[in-house]
Protein backbone atom coordinates (compact mmCIF):
# COMPACT_ATOMS: atom_id res chain seq x y z
CA UNK A 1 0.00 0.00 0.00
CA UNK A 2 2.66 2.49 1.03
CA UNK A 3 5.83 0.92 -0.30
CA UNK A 4 5.93 3.27 -3.30
CA UNK A 5 6.88 5.98 -0.77
CA UNK A 6 10.27 4.30 -0.36
CA UNK A 7 13.37 4.68 -2.51
CA UNK A 8 15.28 1.59 -3.66
CA UNK A 9 17.68 1.54 -0.70
CA UNK A 10 14.73 1.84 1.68
CA UNK A 11 12.78 -0.88 -0.13
CA UNK A 12 15.64 -3.34 0.27
CA UNK A 13 16.07 -2.39 3.94
CA UNK A 14 12.32 -2.80 4.42
CA UNK A 15 12.43 -6.32 2.95
CA UNK A 16 15.18 -7.20 5.43
CA UNK A 17 13.05 -5.86 8.27
CA UNK A 18 10.04 -7.75 6.91
CA UNK A 19 12.03 -10.98 6.88
CA UNK A 20 13.00 -10.41 10.51
CA UNK A 21 9.33 -9.88 11.38
CA UNK A 22 8.07 -13.05 9.67
CA UNK A 23 10.94 -15.03 11.15
CA UNK A 24 10.50 -13.65 14.66
CA UNK A 25 8.15 -16.38 15.84
CA UNK A 26 10.16 -19.16 14.20
CA UNK A 27 7.34 -20.06 11.80
CA UNK A 28 6.73 -18.74 8.26
CA UNK A 29 2.98 -18.91 7.76
CA UNK A 30 1.69 -19.19 4.15
CA UNK A 31 -0.19 -15.89 4.66
CA UNK A 32 3.06 -14.19 5.60
CA UNK A 33 4.79 -15.71 2.56
CA UNK A 34 2.03 -14.43 0.24
CA UNK A 35 2.19 -10.98 1.79
CA UNK A 36 5.97 -10.80 1.33
CA UNK A 37 5.52 -11.83 -2.31
CA UNK A 38 2.85 -9.13 -2.79
CA UNK A 39 5.15 -6.55 -1.22
CA UNK A 40 8.02 -7.56 -3.52
CA UNK A 41 5.65 -7.24 -6.49
CA UNK A 42 4.45 -3.80 -5.32
CA UNK A 43 8.06 -2.60 -5.13
CA UNK A 44 9.03 -4.19 -8.45
CA UNK A 45 11.57 -6.42 -6.71
CA UNK A 46 10.60 -9.61 -8.48
CA UNK A 47 14.07 -11.13 -8.63
CA UNK A 48 16.12 -12.15 -5.65
CA UNK A 49 17.89 -8.98 -4.65
CA UNK A 50 20.84 -8.83 -2.26
CA UNK A 51 19.25 -7.64 0.95
CA UNK A 52 21.19 -5.65 3.52
CA UNK A 53 22.06 -7.46 6.72
CA UNK A 54 22.35 -6.13 10.22
CA UNK A 55 20.51 -5.24 13.36
CA UNK A 56 17.17 -3.44 13.39
CA UNK A 57 19.09 -0.28 14.30
CA UNK A 58 21.28 -0.61 11.21
CA UNK A 59 18.38 -1.48 8.92
CA UNK A 60 16.37 1.50 10.22
CA UNK A 61 19.01 4.08 9.19
CA UNK A 62 17.93 4.62 5.54
CA UNK A 63 14.46 5.75 6.66
CA UNK A 64 15.34 9.39 7.14
CA UNK A 65 11.91 11.01 7.02
CA UNK A 66 8.58 10.58 8.76
CA UNK A 67 6.72 9.53 5.59
CA UNK A 68 9.10 6.61 4.99
CA UNK A 69 9.10 5.65 8.67
CA UNK A 70 5.30 5.70 8.88
CA UNK A 71 5.05 3.72 5.65
CA UNK A 72 7.34 1.04 7.09
CA UNK A 73 5.46 0.95 10.38
CA UNK A 74 2.07 0.52 8.69
CA UNK A 75 3.35 -2.17 6.33
CA UNK A 76 5.21 -3.95 9.15
CA UNK A 77 2.17 -3.96 11.43
CA UNK A 78 0.05 -5.36 8.59
CA UNK A 79 2.66 -8.06 7.99
CA UNK A 80 2.80 -8.94 11.69
CA UNK A 81 -0.98 -9.36 11.76
CA UNK A 82 -1.19 -11.27 8.45
CA UNK A 83 -1.08 -14.67 10.15
CA UNK A 84 -3.52 -13.57 12.89
CA UNK A 85 -0.76 -14.01 15.48
CA UNK A 86 0.93 -10.76 16.50
CA UNK A 87 3.64 -12.47 18.55
CA UNK A 88 5.67 -10.91 21.32
CA UNK A 89 8.82 -11.17 19.21
CA UNK A 90 7.14 -9.31 16.34
CA UNK A 91 5.97 -6.67 18.80
CA UNK A 92 9.55 -6.22 20.04
CA UNK A 93 10.77 -5.48 16.52
CA UNK A 94 8.02 -2.92 15.94
CA UNK A 95 8.62 -1.30 19.32
CA UNK A 96 12.33 -1.06 18.51
CA UNK A 97 11.58 0.67 15.20
CA UNK A 98 9.21 3.11 16.91
CA UNK A 99 11.83 3.88 19.56
CA UNK A 100 14.61 4.39 17.00
CA UNK A 101 12.46 6.76 14.94
CA UNK A 102 10.94 8.60 17.91
CA UNK A 103 7.40 7.43 17.19
CA UNK A 104 5.32 7.90 20.32
CA UNK A 105 3.35 5.05 21.86
CA UNK A 106 0.13 6.93 21.02
CA UNK A 107 1.12 7.25 17.36
CA UNK A 108 2.18 3.58 17.21
CA UNK A 109 -1.16 2.56 18.72
CA UNK A 110 -2.99 4.74 16.21
CA UNK A 111 -1.10 3.03 13.37
CA UNK A 112 -1.94 -0.40 14.78
CA UNK A 113 -5.61 0.55 15.09
CA UNK A 114 -5.63 1.83 11.51
CA UNK A 115 -4.24 -1.50 10.26
CA UNK A 116 -6.83 -3.44 12.27
CA UNK A 117 -9.64 -1.23 10.92
CA UNK A 118 -8.33 -1.64 7.39
CA UNK A 119 -8.21 -5.42 7.81
CA UNK A 120 -11.84 -5.44 9.01
CA UNK A 121 -12.92 -3.35 6.02
CA UNK A 122 -11.01 -5.55 3.58
CA UNK A 123 -12.62 -8.67 5.07
CA UNK A 124 -16.07 -7.06 4.78
CA UNK A 125 -15.37 -6.17 1.16
CA UNK A 126 -14.44 -9.79 0.47
CA UNK A 127 -17.73 -10.90 2.04
CA UNK A 128 -19.70 -8.45 -0.09
CA UNK A 129 -17.90 -9.56 -3.25
CA UNK A 130 -18.59 -13.20 -2.45
CA UNK A 131 -22.37 -12.67 -2.41
| Structural domain count of the chain | 1
Confidence at residue 86, expressed as pLDDT on a 0 to 100 scale: 83
**Three-state helix/strand/coil letters over the chain:** CCHHHCCHHHHHHHHHHHHHHHHCCCCCCHHHHHHHHHHHHHHCCCCCCCCCCCCHHHHHCCCCCHHHHHHHHHHHHHHHHCCCCCCHHHHHHHHHHHHHHCCCHHHHHHHHHHHHHHHHHHHHHHHHHHC
Confidence at residue 46, expressed as pLDDT on a 0 to 100 scale: 76
Confidence at residue 48, expressed as pLDDT on a 0 to 100 scale: 75
- Averaged pLDDT, groups of 10, the chain, 131 residues long: 93 95 85 91 83 95 97 96 85 96 96 94 93 86
Could you tell me the residue range of the domain that residue 49 belongs to?
3-130
Confidence at residue 63, expressed as pLDDT on a 0 to 100 scale: 97
What is the CATH number for 64?
A: 1.10.3680.10
Confidence at residue 76, expressed as pLDDT on a 0 to 100 scale: 96
Confidence at residue 114, expressed as pLDDT on a 0 to 100 scale: 96
Amino acid sequence: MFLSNLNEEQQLAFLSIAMKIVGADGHLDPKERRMIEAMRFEMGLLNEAKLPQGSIEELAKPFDNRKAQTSVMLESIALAYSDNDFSGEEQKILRALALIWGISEDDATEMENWVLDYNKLAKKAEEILAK
